[in-house]
């Protein structure tokens, strides 16, 4: 039953056409949400008690780091689907998410560094969360280079999926790194169980920016996946009609 | 007669290139199949599918043997930095009664202390074939066994294989050099 | 078991396979105090870091052709045909490599620790830590070697290095724990726990990867 359901939606051609239709909506909606949240956060809220105006980079840094980790989890999920049910589209998705993940992690690292200058006095520190995020960045690059080093695409997909799953051990480390070790990073201000430790006037733009950023990243993933699909299926007849 | 191997509609595709499709054949005990085909037609891939190393893209293959397979491929499975004797011990065939006679037959008995890396190509091939000569399997799968062998050794190989067939073992092999055994021909065409 | 005997024989005779990494380790650890003396810095503090890095690099070196050689000469093929699952073979292979390379390095590292810091406590504490750490490194780098079996081993090993970095972070904390003399057993058990999971899971994954390569 599940197999049939998955195979129905697993055709790269169907995916491509559906995604083409949905793309403009997602793009413009998320762009407006993000810009709206940014505007609210940048201009309409007051300064932070401790950090002054410099805390405002939170509207870039937090969405970026949140997304970079979520993208990796998405890749792990897609890899599992690929290994169990052999859905080729999953493999394409994994390969297309990887570069976007790398870019997002890079943004997280750089925005974090910029934030660090006024608050910690340094743009780099070897604390656990920064190191694990750096490891995540290197992993993304490693995944891309591993996949591209193979001429045999089927093998490449398999190994990519395996490496993604083995490497997902890094994600819990990142998330828990602020709890397990005493680091420069503060502990989570937003958790599912407790009341947020952050002021509501900053909380809402933060949520907005996370949602908007997610949407923008989804658009990037869509573009990247279209590229992957067209590249890998280029011998099929429907591609020749499409292009 | 017992069917050792039954293949139905085997197809194999690698990277969107079809090598062979809808191949069906059966192999009885005491019979041999000679796979013929031009370079790149999929002979090695078919043999690897039969040995279980590769999975076919489509089709079923039914294996019916009691003991295992003896597979001799392109690579010799010899450790270059060990002596002939050490390699033999790795093959677990020291205690085999016929070992000495085979070594003499193939001209390897004086070379026990030589490092495999110092043997000639043909001598290494003969050493690799020892695994075949002292096998304890029902199904023999050989990929180009005669490469590098002199005429005398080829004859020894053919005689041995005929004896094995008489002992109710099954044989499937690919070879550009024609062997002196009665074998059914399986042609892999490039469509 | 017979497999164990065979793998031992193979690695023992291949002297560059185990002697090489050990000698490199000795080289690094001997060169370290020489350079530090010249710069006149505090040896004790940096010694442990150099030890971890040297161990890391040497384990990377040691796994350079753990599967590559067997893959290239066809031995891996024969093993795959003979055994249904390669994970047993892989576990034994890694164990043999650890026995001939990891174990000597752990003892040597502890010896150096004693020689440089003159603290017997430290040396004794180092032995189990190093034994476990070298084994973990061996496993992870073998995974890397298996991944890029056909493309040259360096790529695979470099790619799996990020997986090992969190372990280094943990080791850094071990350094602090040792220096303050606290909670050593706790860390040891943590390392043992990580090792047991890795020993069980990685060979299965590596077997999967190698089978895919043999196709």
Burial class (CB in 10 A: 0-12, 13-18, 19+), C210: buried
| C110 touches C127 (CB < 8 A) | yes
Q: Which residues have CB under 8 Å from A94's CB, separation 6+?
A: A75, A78, A79, A82, A157, A160, A161, A164
Record: contact C209-A150, CB cut-off 8 A:
no
**Residue B95 pLDDT more than 70?**
no
Q: Report all structural domains of chain A as residue ranges with CATH numbers, in order of start.
A: 14-242 (1.20.120)
Which pLDDT value is given to residue A41? Answer: 76
The closest of C187, C168, C191 to C177, measured between CA atoms, is: C187
Q: Percent of chain C scored above 70 by pLDDT?
A: 92
Return the axis-axis angle of helices C120-147 and A153-167, rounded to nearest 10°. 150
Which pLDDT value is given to residue C136? Answer: 92
Chain A hits for C159, Cβ within 8 Å: 142-143, 145-146, 163
Helices (H), B53-144: 84-90, 99-106, 121-133
Average pLDDT over residues B73-99: 79
What confidence tens digit (pLDDT) does each residue in C153-200 have? 678 777 888 888 888 877 777 777 776 666 677 778 888 898 999 999
Q: Report all structural domains of chain B as residue ranges with CATH numbers, in order of start.
A: 1-68+139-146+164-191 (3.40.50.300), 76-136 (no CATH)
**Residue C82 pLDDT more than 50?**
yes
Dig out the tokens for B88 from the structure: 């033999």
Q: How far apart are alpha carbons A206 and A212 in whole angstroms?
A: 10
Separation in Å, CA of B15 to nearest CA in chain A = 7
C19 touches chain A (CB under 8 A): no
Name the helix (H) or strand (E) containing B7.
strand B3-14
Which pLDDT value is given to residue B61? Answer: 87
Q: How far apart are alpha carbons C12 and C96 in whole angstroms?
A: 9
- Give this prediction's pTM: 0.85
DSSP class of residue A188 equals P
Least confident of A181-195, C40-54, C195-209: A181-195
Chain A hits for B16, Cβ within 8 Å: 235
Higher pLDDT residue, B28 or C5?
A: B28
Q: How far apart are alpha carbons A222 and A236 in whole angstroms?
A: 20
Residues, chain C, total? Answer: 215
Nearest beta carbon to residue A167 from set C150, C151, C163: C163
Record: contact B53-C77, CB cut-off 8 A:
yes
Encode chain A (243 residues) as per-residue pLDDT tens digits. Answer: 566 666 666 777 778 887 888 888 888 888 888 888 877 777 776 666 666 666 777 888 888 988 999 999 999 999 999 988 888 888 889 999 999 999 999 999 998 888 888 777 777 877 778 888 888 999 999 899 888 888 888 888 999 999 999 888 888 888 777 666 666 666 665 555 555 666 677 777 888 888 888 888 888 888 888 888 888 887 777 777 777
The mean predicted confidence, pLDDT, of chain B is: 84
What confidence tens digit (pLDDT) does each residue in C112-158 have? 888 877 777 778 888 888 899 999 999 999 998 888 888 776 787 77
Mutate which: C77, C79, C80, vs B, most B CBs within 10 A: C77
DSSP assignment string, C23-86: HHHHHHHHHHHHHHHHHT--HHHHHHHHHHHHHHHHHHHHTTTTTHHHHHHTHHHHHHHH-S-T
Record: contact A152-B15, CB cut-off 8 A:
yes
Q: Which residues have CB under 8 Å from B58's CB, separation 6+?
A: B9, B10, B11, B21
Separation in Å, CA of C154 to nearest CA in chain A = 11
Q: How far apart are alpha carbons A178 and A165 in whole angstroms?
A: 23
Record: contact C73-B90, CB cut-off 8 A:
no
Higher pLDDT residue, B86 or C207?
A: C207
Q: Percent of chain B scored above 90 by pLDDT?
A: 1
Return the axis-axis angle of helices C43-62 and C103-117, rounded to nearest 10°. 170
């Amino acid at each position: 039953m599940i197999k049939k359901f998955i195979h129905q939606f697993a055709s790269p051609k169907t995916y491509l056409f559906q995604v083409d239709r949905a793309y403009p909506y997602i793009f413009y909606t998320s762009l407006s949400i993000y810009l709206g949240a940014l505007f609210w956060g940048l201009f309409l809220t007051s300064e932070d008690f401790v950090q002054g105006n410099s805390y405002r980079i939170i509207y870039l840094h937090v969405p970026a780091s949140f997304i970079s980790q979520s993208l990796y989890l998405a890749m792990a999920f897609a890899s599992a689907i690929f290994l169990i049910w052999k859905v080729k589209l999953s493999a394409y998705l994994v390969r297309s998410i990887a570069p976007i993940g790398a870019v997002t992690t890079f943004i997280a690292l750089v925005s974090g560094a910029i934030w660090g200058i006024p608050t910690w006095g340094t743009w780099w520190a070897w604390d656990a969360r920064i190191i694990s995020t750096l490891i995540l960045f290197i992993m993304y690059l490693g995944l891309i280079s591993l996949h591209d080093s193979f001429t045999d695409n089927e093998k490449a997909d398999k190994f990519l999926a395996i490496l993604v799953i083995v490497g997902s051990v890094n994600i819990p480390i990142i998330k828990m790194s602020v709890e397990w070790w005493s680091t420069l990073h503060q502990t989570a201000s937003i958790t599912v169980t407790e009341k947020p430790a952050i002021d509501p006037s900053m909380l809402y733009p933060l949520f907005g920016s996370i949602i908007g950023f997610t949407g923008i990243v989804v658009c990037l993933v869509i573009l990247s996946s279209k590229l992957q699909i067209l590249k890998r299926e280029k011998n099929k007849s429907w591609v020749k009609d499409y292009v | 007669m017992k069917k050792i191997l039954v293949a139905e509609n085997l197809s194999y595709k690698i990277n969107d290139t079809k090598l062979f499709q809808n191949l069906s054949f059966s192999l009885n005990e005491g019979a041999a199949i000679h796979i013929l085909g031009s370079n790149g037609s999929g002979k090695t891939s078919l043999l690897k599918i039969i040995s279980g190393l590769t999975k076919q893209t489509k089709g079923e293959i039914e294996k019916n043997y009691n003991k295992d397979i003896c597979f001799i491929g392109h690579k010799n499975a010899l450790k270059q930095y060990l002596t002939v004797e050490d390699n033999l011990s790795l093959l677990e065939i020291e205690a085999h009664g016929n070992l000495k006679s085979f070594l003499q037959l193939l001209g390897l008995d004086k070379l026990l202390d030589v490092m495999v890396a110092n043997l000639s190509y043909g001598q290494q091939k003969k050493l690799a074939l020892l695994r075949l000569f002292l096998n304890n399997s029902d199904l023999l799968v050989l990929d180009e066994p005669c490469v590098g062998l002199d005429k005398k050794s080829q004859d020894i190989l053919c005689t041995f294989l005929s004896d094995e067939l008489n002992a109710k073992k099954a044989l499937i092999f690919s070879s550009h050099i024609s062997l002196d055994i009665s074998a059914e021909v399986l042609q892999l065409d490039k469509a | 078991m017979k497999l164990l005997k065979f793998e031992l024989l193979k690695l023992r005779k291949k002297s560059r396979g185990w002697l090489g990494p050990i000698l490199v380790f000795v080289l690094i650890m001997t060169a370290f105090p020489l350079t530090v003396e010249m710069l006149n810095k505090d040896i004790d503090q940096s010694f442990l870091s150099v030890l971890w890095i040297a161990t890391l690099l040497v384990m990377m070196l040691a796994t350079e052709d753990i599967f590559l050689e067997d893959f290239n000469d066809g031995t891996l093929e024969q093993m795959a045909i003979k055994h249904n699952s390669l994970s047993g073979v892989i576990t034994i292979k890694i164990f043999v490599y650890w026995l001939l390379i990891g174990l000597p390095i752990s003892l040597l590292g502890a010896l150096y620790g004693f020689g440089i810091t003159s603290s017997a406590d430290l040396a004794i504490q180092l032995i189990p830590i190093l034994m476990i750490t070298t084994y973990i490194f061996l496993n992870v780098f073998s995974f890397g070697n298996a991944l890029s079996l056909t493309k040259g081993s360096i790529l695979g090993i470099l790619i799996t290095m990020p997986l090992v970095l969190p372990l280094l972070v943990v080791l850094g904390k071990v350094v602090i724990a040792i220096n303050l003399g606290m909670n050593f057993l706790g860390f040891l058990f943590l390392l043992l726990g990580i090792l047991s999971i890795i020993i069980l899971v990685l060979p299965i994954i590596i077997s999967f990867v190698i089978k895919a390569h043999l196709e």
